[in-house]
């Protein structure tokens, strides 16, 4: 009996020893395979570049595809920071990395999941990813930024879809050129590898004032016919804040048109810092945008000094936003106070015809009343007609906008412009940031003009 017991124990022991590696292998295959397959140090990760699916624009124009075993990028520098690269030497980055699992192909399935995918496909090539980007708008936005460091975003006001996200400086992600430029790119202090449109963080300066105006109108803390007295400066508690001019007696509409710091500092004190933070949240600037991979949330003001609300109201203090954040804000106003979350991803298509994933349509949510949004929009139209944004005027087109000149602790003033066209039936919204360029009215407004002129040319 004792011998049988010992044999039984030995058998159980061997069974356990056999089961342990099988359990471990199963755990690796089902739960941890992606950790190692996607590890940048895995030299086999990019071996199947030839089978990688395409990235295409909204009209199915190719933005990234494989030819002769190499990844090709037809728009080159015009879209480099946004798309990133898929390169056997340097791995992948940007959208190429974000949608890797959606578009990758495989000659031999390495995981049960890949094996299951192959059962639903006629070949081993990856799916295509369709973006909301329009190649024509993307190219125009990039060209308009020539000579500057900065970024531009163009949104379709009706849908929230992104038509362009351009950054400068840029780089050519095509294999041969990227290999030649790599050492200089990673050492360049101008950071050409950074995608500035959705990931750059900047103080907004005066392009933040439309939000403050909307908030005060909505809360009843200001009236459109209210007058303010600007004497070029205002005491905001612990220091004196200067204005960009001595505007004298101005209405709220005129205060926005002439970008009067004194008037908006006073409005900021009425709202308080908690109120300003609350309204940034209502405009959803603090929220992630899951369908714009890599995009960043705005940084809400956290200051505690007596002057913090006044500084925040003119887009200074410690507020930081991306150009995409500001394009979202101005689009909300253009829609009459209705927010729609921006989209960059549109769909995933298999074998050129079968839609395997479709980005859900952006839900519309009201932020402010249509009446108050129209008051802000009318003031932004005055910015362009006779205020600080006259350099953005486009013959034959109506435009509403706001300029901004944002001070920053790391160099010269940033130039901003946000706006939309046409005024009565808004279709396109734009946000432009030019790093260390100077005044928004002088520098960013003409850039926005050159971009939005395309709307008239496409008619």
Biggest alpha carbon–alpha carbon distance for the chain:
108
CA-based nearest residue to 262, from 250, 272, 273: 250
Residue 105's pLDDT is what?
81
Q: Give the pLDDT confidence score for residue 69 in this predicted structure.
A: 85
Query: Does residue 422 have a cis bond before it (omega within 30 degrees)?
Result: yes
- Please list the rounded mean pLDDT of every run of 10 residues in the chain (459 residues): 64 66 54 53 54 95 93 97 94 95 75 63 80 98 98 98 98 96 96 97 97 98 92 75 79 95 94 97 97 97 89 94 98 98 96 89 96 98 97 97 89 94 97 96 98 91
pLDDT on residue 13? 67
pLDDT of residue 407: 86
Intra-chain end-to-end CA distance of the chain, in Å = 95
pLDDT at 41: 47
Whether 453 contacts 394, CB under 8 Å: yes
Give per-residue burial for 323-356: e unless 16+ CB within 10 Å, then b. bbbbbbbbbbbbbbbbbbbbbbbbbbbbeeeeee
The pLDDT score that the predictor gives to residue 46 is: 47
pLDDT of 23 reads: 55
Q: The sheet that has 428-434: what strands, in order across it? A: 162-168, 150-156, 428-434, 411-421, 400-408
Predicted pLDDT at 125: 79
Q: Report the alpha-carbon distance of residue 93 to residue 294 in Å, rounded.
A: 10
From residue 11, how far is each of 14, 17, 391 by CA, in Å? 5, 10, 86
Nearest to 428 by CA among 136, 137, 81: 137
Find tokens 């709307």 and name the residue: 455
């Amino acid at each position: 009996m004792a011998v049988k017991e010992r044999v039984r124990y030995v058998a159980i022991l061997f069974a356990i020893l056999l089961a342990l590696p099988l359990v471990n292998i199963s755990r690796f295959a089902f739960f941890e395979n992606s950790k190692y397959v996607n590890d940048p140090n895995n030299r086999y990760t990019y071996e199947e570049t030839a089978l990688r699916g395409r990235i295409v624009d909204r009209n199915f124009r190719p933005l990234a595809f494989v030819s002769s075993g190499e990844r090709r990028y037809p728009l080159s520098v015009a879209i480099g920071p946004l798309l990133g690269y898929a390169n056997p030497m340097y791995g992948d980055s940007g959208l190429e990395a974000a949608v890797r699992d959606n578009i990758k192909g495989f000659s031999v399935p390495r995981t049960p999941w890949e094996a299951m995918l192959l059962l639903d496909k006629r070949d081993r090539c990856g799916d295509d990813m369709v973006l909301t980007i329009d190649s024509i708008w993307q190219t125009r936005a990039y060209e308009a930024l020539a000579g500057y460091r900065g970024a531009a975003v163009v949104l379709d006001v009706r849908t929230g879809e992104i038509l362009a996200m351009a950054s400068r400086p840029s780089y050519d992600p095509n294999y041969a050129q990227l290999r030649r430029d790599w050492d200089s790119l990673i050492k360049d202090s101008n950071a050409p590898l950074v995608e500035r449109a959705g990931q750059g963080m900047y103080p907004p300066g005066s392009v933040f004032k439309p939000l403050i105006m909307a908030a005060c109108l909505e809360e009843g803390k200001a009236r459109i016919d209210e007058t303010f007295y600007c004497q070029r400066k205002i005491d905001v508690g612990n220091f004196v804040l200067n204005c960009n001019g001595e505007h004298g007696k101005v209405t709220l509409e005129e205060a926005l048109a002439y970008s009067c710091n004194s008037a908006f500092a006073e409005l900021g004190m009425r709202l308080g810092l908690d109120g300003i933070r609350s309204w940034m949240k209502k405009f959803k600037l603090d929220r992630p945008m899951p369908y714009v991979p890599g995009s960043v949330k705005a940084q809400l003001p956290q200051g505690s000094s007596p002057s913090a609300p006044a500084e925040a109201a003119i887009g200074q203090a410690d507020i930081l936003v991306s150009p995409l954040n500001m394009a979202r804000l101005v689009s909300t106003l253009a829609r009459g106070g209705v927010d729609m979350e921006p989209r960059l991803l549109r769909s995933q298509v298999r074998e050129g015809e079968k839609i395997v994933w479709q980005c859900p349509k952006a839900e519309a949510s009201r932020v402010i009343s249509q009446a108050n949004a129209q008051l802000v929009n009318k003031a932004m139209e005055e910015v362009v007609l006779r205020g600080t944004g006259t350099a953005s005027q486009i013959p034959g087109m109506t435009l509403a906008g706001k300029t901004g000149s944002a001070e920053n602790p790391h160099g010269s003033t940033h130039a901003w412009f946000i706006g939309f066209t046409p005024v009565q039936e808004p279709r396109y919204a734009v946000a432009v940031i030019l790093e260390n360029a100077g005044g928004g009215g002088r520098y960013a407004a003409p850039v926005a003009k050159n971009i939005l002129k395309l709307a008239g040319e496409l008619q």
